[in-house]
A and B are shown apart, each in its own frame.
Chain A
């Protein structure tokens, strides 16, 4: 039994939730805070629990995201496993992976030598705005001698430019923080955004559960100042516990922040949101019943195939 709250779980989701579109993010922040307060108030405790479930049969998992950067694009093909399995999920080797564009260029993918199930495009290419891309993965998954075919498609949408970035200080939970803001004009269409944040060239938003995404429901066609990421001030490092340090990114003068803004499809936006909210299970107060995460992979596969174009901006913290 751990006395003193499962704050780790809540703060984690708190931090990541902070990064959603300005209002829904704010709401989430409140809800998390409220849940935390209540739990504090009731001296709640956590305890490990053994859950017995039947294991669902394995399915093919495909995850690949194309961008307009000129690079070796990646697609990962793996196998689902029982939820509490003690080994990481295994990759699926020997699949035929290709991506075809709407102008009928075919990009074959080759399996990595070192990581089973990871496939790289044979040559470097960048996805082009306005183009559709079709993924095909063929593999004999159920070993019946017949190839099973999984397909998905994505469209690369035009992305608006970032005007500028600013970093502003804020006091929160008694902590000195800095917020990274993006300034940009939202186009009149219904849009969905994704933000990749780099701190001194290391990607902070590697995990899907930490990946900030936003729709433009609350600011459609308006000029926005959107808060994207919360940094801790370097002066807090001394005071913070080892645990907090692991979760925090400390900012000091001279640090370089890069922001990539991607314009994504509603499907991928939903997928990311569902990954985030579904990862830790149900909350009795907020959120809905546990449900499967959406996918655009055909033939009973799970995962997602997406693609987006990027606009960029950098700022040096002073």
Chain B
């Protein structure tokens, strides 16, 4: 592959990026005497927007061209809601996977890989609180109830210095921040779940939001052939609550609470897992040029397996819990000083596993966690040199301290650098560099991952993972910003990236670290994106050409192998057509190269059984993936004066019934004993209907 050869060791790519950093300013200063008036105008526009929010969220119409950070993607909840969704469950994490550079790790899984990184390299925050497992139902549904979400923003590697601790991406999920003047709400009734969100004022300065969602998937089990499954429990719920109090124009206090739980149970035992994420945030405007944000966060992910079979009374619990405190300031002084700075500290408490086995008369089995403190201090600045040229730079200093028996500290400097040069009013070139460090990782070995996976930390034996990410791109808007086009190139150099010993056992292992193998990784690619923002037809199409590989001694005999989520080609097409105010039609078409996999190249026989022999890891690929989904939104009474407004959503998932393999299993023919392969695919055509309402 040409791309591979071209960037084989990344040298040329890095050279290009660094040259851009150093050459561009020279050009710019050479043309320096620009119209000072003009400069102020553009700057003041930007400042005004900054003032609206403590955090930077400039939503200029030409942001595609002017935004300093590359590799950022935004989706509004309105946009997401129009998309077809499996079983009618609007899912922000599925929508996310339609963006360039974002790949799903398995059919219909909520695990995602950003620019060749593994799923545990994504930092997912709900109103700034980390959510460790953002999914339900073994990864098939997202933990975020779309009724309370206002939108998502994804940073594909170059994140704002205020966040750190992950290599690949930052996903910010934001809840509604409306100021309702009366009680109102939204909700929906679907095939597998129903949901309701109500919000309202409490006096003049306080507002509240409560929302809930519950699935009733267990109803389907009535049809199960197996008697025991019929009485099985299988559901999840989410609860969200938010209380906002505005003391004056200058102070805002926010309390956020999220709790979600999955419950599965049969007569012989049960399995529960879920997240709790809550935060208390105080926003204070010190002056027009100084904003502060003080917050405390708590997050808890845990799971429990219990068995009652034959009075065994066995209980297995595991999880991770974080307490976080942070202070963030934003100080826009002038064109040359637009500062963001702050400090954060996280206490991580790990419970890798604790089993009580009273019924078996055995002692408790406990794996001790190695608790840790992760902290960060950062300072970043944005400078507008001319109306054509701006730079952004920042530095984050992070440290990670194991508090357990073996006290140990790692520190790291994480610089970030970005520049944008506007070629014309409608086009720009950008370059970004970031160095990120990750101290936590998931002990997960399977392609899709499971809720049982354990988070574990860096330690004297496990060095923190590091990445150098270089990217550059060209951005062009057409037709009065109605069309946005971009092409971005990226190159990633990963160090201390982890994988696991072959045949490792990661659960209930007293010596998990001995299963870890570390090495280097490399990922690079090009992302093309074209988006149309207004008119009857809206949507986007993108194409990603990429590669992601790992080289880890002791894995695959030290030979370089493809990362499990490497997909050479990926195309996503998303379109919505507004026939009228009442009817719109949306479609999604996705295509991706098949995931790398390991197929047996030989077999050996013992007795009547055959066992596989492999030539090397991920040397083959599964059949390619493609799928078309469509949905129809129908709003019966758009001009109704009534408060209650209903709408229908009809979705058809996998319209042309493509059989995309989820799992490939080997069986032996019952008569001849000769092995054969069969695939398991999850979905044929899945129709669904949802009734959504507003009041």
Contacts and interface: CB of A to CB of B under 8 A. Distances in A.
Question: Main SS of the interface on chain B?
Answer: mixed
Contacts of A173: 226-229
Given A61-B604, A174-B228, A288-B504, A279 B682 contact: no
B357 A284 contact: no
A45 B314 CA distance: 33
A83 B612 contact: yes
Given A58-B602, A89-B603, A279 B611 contact: yes
28 contacts: A26-B312, A27-B316, A27-B507, A31-B452, A34-B271, A36-B229, A48-B679, A51-B664, A55-B601, A76-B606, A82-B602, A88-B605, A173-B229, A206-B608, A217-B365, A217-B510, A218-B357, A218-B365, A283-B446, A284-B106, A284-B447, A284-B662, A285-B448, A285-B450, A289-B502, A289-B564, A289-B618, A291-B617
A270 interface: yes
A302 interface: yes
Interface stretch (B243-251, B303-311, B380-388): B303-311
Interface of B: 106, 137-140, 217, 220-221, 224-229, 232, 234, 264, 266-269, 271, 305, 307, 309-310, 312, 314, 316, 355, 357, 360-363, 365, 445-450, 452, 500, 502-504, 506-508, 510, 564, 597-615, 617-618, 620, 623, 659, 661-667, 672-684
B502 A292 contact: yes
A81 interface: yes
A173 B309 CA distance: 11
Given A51-B677, A55-B602, A89-B605, A293 B220 contact: no
Given A48-B676, A285-B446, A275 B507 contact: no
A38 B599 contact: no
Contacts of A44: 662, 680-683
A207 B668 CA distance: 13
Interface string A196-223: 0000000000111100000001110011
Nearest to A294: B503
Contact of B446 (A51, A280, A284): A284
A288 B445 contact: yes
Contacts of A83: 599-603, 610, 612-613, 666, 675
B614 A291 contact: yes
Given A48-B679, A281-B665, A284-B447, 9 more contacts: A31-B452, A34-B271, A37-B232, A49-B623, A85-B603, A208-B607, A274-B503, A289-B564, A291-B502
Interface stretch (A99-107, A164-172, A255-263): A164-172
Interface of A: 4, 6-7, 9, 22-24, 26-27, 29-31, 33-34, 36-51, 53-56, 58-59, 61, 63, 76, 78, 80-89, 168, 170-174, 179, 206-209, 217-219, 222-225, 270, 273-275, 277-294, 302-303
A51 to B, nearest CB: 5
Contacts of A274: 503
Contact of A40 (B221, B305, B508): B221
Contact of A26 (B138, B314, B446, B506): B314
Given A80-B613, A288-B445, A283 B601 contact: no
B682 A291 contact: no
A47 B234 contact: no
Nearest to B108: A42
Given A34-B271, A80-B604, A284-B663, A47 B679 contact: yes
Given A84-B676, A218-B357, A292-B613, A285 B607 contact: no
Specify which of A9, A23, A206, A273 lies most central, judged by the most chain B CB atoms within 10 Å of its CB: A23
Contacts of B234: 37, 41
Given A83-B612, A174-B228, A288 B500 contact: yes
Closest 9 A-B residue pairs measured CB to CB? Answer: A174-B227, A291-B502, A288-B445, A56-B601, A290-B598, A89-B605, A83-B600, A284-B448, A49-B679
A56 B615 contact: yes
A171 B311 CA distance: 12
A224 B361 CA distance: 8
Contact of A41 (B217, B597, B674): B217
Contacts of B602: 55-56, 58-59, 80-83
A58 to B, nearest CB: 7
A82 B603 contact: yes
B678 A6 contact: yes
A211 B312 CA distance: 23
A58 B604 CA distance: 9
A279 B602 CA distance: 12
A115 to B, nearest CB: 12
A224 B365 CA distance: 14
B363 A38 contact: no
